[in-house]
Chain A
Amino acid sequence: MSVTLKPQSKKLGGSSVWTTVIFALLILIPCFVAFSNKLREFILLYSGQVDGVFAISPIVNYLLASLGFFFLFWWGICNGMFARMEEPKRDFLVQEWQLDQAQADYESKPDGDKNHDDISVYEQSARMN
């Protein structure tokens, strides 16, 4: 079986990228300002109180975890993880069929036709069992 995997999705044009960036900034900047303001107010409200640290720590924990995911997300974008969005779902299926095909071919060969180096350690140990 021979299958060629071709990239299918188109690249975004320059104007689409700029539109996306401008809209993203339009939404993200006000959200970020509002959220930081509220968080600052909240910290001021609770600082000095006995249960202050307890009140703030879950939020800080959550923000740290989310920051980790944000960086992972960013890393994904920079490394083309979302570039050809729909392709992985086809590639993986083709690969599965190929793996099954190759294994079936291999198992149906008589022993003599197999290159000896071709026999994995696991198979050898299985034979011994």
Chain B
Amino acid sequence: MQTQPTTTADLPRHSDLVEERLVRWYLIAACVYLTIAMLGGFLMGFQMIRYNPLAGIEIFSPGRWRMIHTNGVAYGFIATAFLGVLHWVVPRITLHPVLDHRLSYFIFFAWQVVILGTVVGIMLGEAQGLEWGETPVWIDPLAQVGLGLVAINFMAPIRHVKGPMYVTLWYFTAAFIWTFLTYAMGNFIPQYFVTGTSAGAIGGMFIHDLVGLFVTPLGWGAMYYFVPILLKKPIWSHGLSLVGFWGLAFFYPLTGIHHFLYTPIPMFLQYGAVLSTIAVEMVVTTVIVNFFATIRGSTGALRENIPIRWFYTGMVFYFLTCLQCAFQTTLTFQALIHFSDWVVGHAHMVMYGVFSQWLIGMMLYLFPRLWRTDWYSRRLLEWQYWLSAVGIAIMSADLIILGVFQGYMWASLAPWSDVIQFSIPWWALRIVSGVMIFASHMIFMTHMLLTWMKAVAERKQEAASNPSTVAQTV
């Protein structure tokens, strides 16, 4: 690959490469944002079953907190956690630190300003009228500059790589460029340059490019890094993983308009989106095949190794959600499920069931290494996993099935209020499954605290018994 060291002596030291404190900060911040975002989900969820505990308070209006929920999970949790993971992975694969650690700290603080500014802006009613880009317009330039700096900071080590690059780096490189361009396209063009259907088409491309060209390549790239390390064997086929990468590069950018099928957007663009989505389905299949072929013969790891369990649970949900996508992207099926809870089910299954499960798996692997100690309790790990897995399985099944019923009820011209009445018990079940997911997250946060305290105690003990060993960062 890029590096040809033959002994450990030729290698730079991990502590020179990775700024561990920053990784810890990012991961902890991400978990805090996920907590806030989930509370927003509950507020909206309670509103939908007609029990809003904070009714009448404008800054707690469920409409606003729905946006805090979606932006919170996308930018607060997923993006922040990925930034932390990148600070670990990129320097280790390239054997070069990021461009400048001071820049990394600056980006960290700027990113917190962007997220908190978004939350406050939305609470005060200053959301931008763009789906998934509700960040107030005055934050957009800062976020855009920040994304540029992120790209520069991480591309510096990748630039040093010579010879065939490992697939993770292909994905990350593309994600840095794509995210910068996607953000610019989605947040500025519909706001300042185009209107009407054109703005709708751009908005559709923005939504899907955000999930497909920012979340997906970072997620896949990170999985190609962590899974082989944990299974202690290489990925089944590197060639196939590259087919996946180039397939994503060529087919994904055109799929976005599948969010707006049956709209006034010209039909040829809608057909184009459907066709390229079918192509993307095949690309996704290559990735799934590769990961399942890799674990063949090592399935025992699913029982023993908790991060691997999270990764492969996410993989199963990935398979399921892609199967779901294969249906929902066809025009026949779209006519039935568009605007229904089927789509909300898809969104939760893929954003939580897949990418958040992968990120939590990564955190479960990284925190013990960052704190130089094992997790405090295996039992808590098991509780966290089962509550989360069962919770998201119930939530997605509940919403997806409800979506089909809603679609048929609308098609049979049932009165709107009947459909709402019918949906309420299903939405109540969503709250129940949400409580399970939230409980899992609270267990995780508590467990982090307990493990951190254990690490501090161990370091103190070590320092007392052997004062000459270096006190590690805790």
Binding site for B on A (CB under 8 A): 1-5, 51, 54-55, 58-59, 62, 65-66, 69, 72-73, 80-93, 95-96, 98-103, 105-108, 110-112, 114, 120, 122-123, 126-127, 129
Contact A99 B92 (CB under 8 A): yes
Contact B470 A55 (CB under 8 A): no
Contact B16 A120 (CB under 8 A): yes
Within 8 A of A (CB), among B428-474: 466, 468-473
How far is A59 from B95 in the complex, measured between Cα atoms in Å? 40
Interface residue from B3, B5, B14, B254 paired with A103 (Cβ < 8 Å): B14
Contact A98 B237 (CB under 8 A): no
Contact A92 B166 (CB under 8 A): yes
Contact A102 B253 (CB under 8 A): no
Given the known inter-chain contacts A1-B7, A120-B15, please indicate yes or no for A86 contacting B473, CB distance below 8 A.
no
Taking CB atoms, residues of chain B closer than 8 Å to A84 are: 164
Interface residue from A81, A95, A105, A114 paired with B95 (Cβ < 8 Å): A95
Taking CB atoms, residues of chain B closer than 8 Å to A69 are: 246, 249-250
Cβ of B197 under 8 Å from chain A: yes
Interface residue from B17, B237, B272 paired with A86 (Cβ < 8 Å): B237
Q: Which 9 A-B pairs have the closest CB atoms?
A: A91-B1, A89-B234, A103-B14, A102-B8, A88-B1, A126-B473, A110-B468, A88-B166, A89-B238
Contact B228 A89 (CB under 8 A): yes
Cβ of B412 under 8 Å from chain A: no
Taking CB atoms, residues of chain A closer than 8 Å to B469 are: 107-108, 110-111
Taking CB atoms, residues of chain B closer than 8 Å to A73 are: 246
Cβ of B160 under 8 Å from chain A: no
Contact B229 A98 (CB under 8 A): no
Contact A86 B239 (CB under 8 A): yes
* Most interface-central of A2, A88, A112 (chain B CB within 10 A): A88
Given the known inter-chain contacts A55-B266, A73-B246, A102-B8, please indicate yes or no for A85 contacting B238, CB distance below 8 A.
yes
Closest CB in chain A relative to B243 CB, distance in Å: 11
Q: Give the nearest-CB partner of A92 in chain B.
A: B166
B74-104 contact mask (Cβ, 8 Å, vs A): 1 or 0: 0000000000000000001101000001000
Q: Give the nearest-CB partner of A90 in chain B.
A: B234
Closest CB in chain B relative to A3 CB, distance in Å: 6
Q: Give the nearest-CB partner of A113 in chain B.
A: B468
Interface residue from B17, B235, B253, B473 paired with A62 (Cβ < 8 Å): B253
Binding site for A on B (CB under 8 A): 1-9, 11, 13-17, 19-21, 92-93, 95, 101, 163-168, 197-198, 201, 205, 225, 228-229, 232-235, 237-239, 242, 246, 249-250, 253-254, 257, 266, 268-269, 272, 372, 466, 468-473
Contact B253 A87 (CB under 8 A): no
Taking CB atoms, residues of chain A closer than 8 Å to B239 are: 85-86
Contact B6 A54 (CB under 8 A): no
Taking CB atoms, residues of chain B closer than 8 Å to A2 are: 6-7
Known: A54-B197, A129-B473. 14 other contacts (CB 8 A): A62-B254, A69-B246, A81-B163, A85-B239, A87-B238, A88-B164, A89-B166, A89-B167, A89-B228, A91-B2, A95-B11, A98-B7, A103-B13, A107-B470
Contact B14 A91 (CB under 8 A): no
Contact B11 A107 (CB under 8 A): no
Taking CB atoms, residues of chain B closer than 8 Å to A106 are: 13, 15
Taking CB atoms, residues of chain B closer than 8 Å to A88 are: 1-2, 164-167, 238
Interface residue from A82, A101, A107, A129 paired with B242 (Cβ < 8 Å): A82
For this complex, 8 residue pairs linking A to B, each with C-beta atoms less than 8 Å apart, are A85-B239, A92-B228, A93-B229, A93-B232, A95-B11, A110-B466, A120-B15, A129-B473
Q: Give the nearest-CB partner of A111 in chain B.
A: B468
Q: Give the nearest-CB partner of B9 in chain A.
A: A102
Taking CB atoms, residues of chain B closer than 8 Å to A1 are: 7-8
How far is A62 from B268 in the complex, measured between Cα atoms in Å? 14
Given the known inter-chain contacts A69-B250, A92-B93, A106-B13, please indicate yes or no for A82 contacting B8, CB distance below 8 A.
no
Given the known inter-chain contacts A93-B228, A95-B5, please indicate yes or no for A80 contacting B11, CB distance below 8 A.
no
Contact A82 B3 (CB under 8 A): no
How far is A126 from B95 in the complex, measured between Cα atoms in Å? 21
Q: Give the nearest-CB partner of A81 in chain B.
A: B164
Taking CB atoms, residues of chain B closer than 8 Å to A123 are: 15, 470
How far is A90 from B3 in the complex, measured between Cα atoms in Å? 12
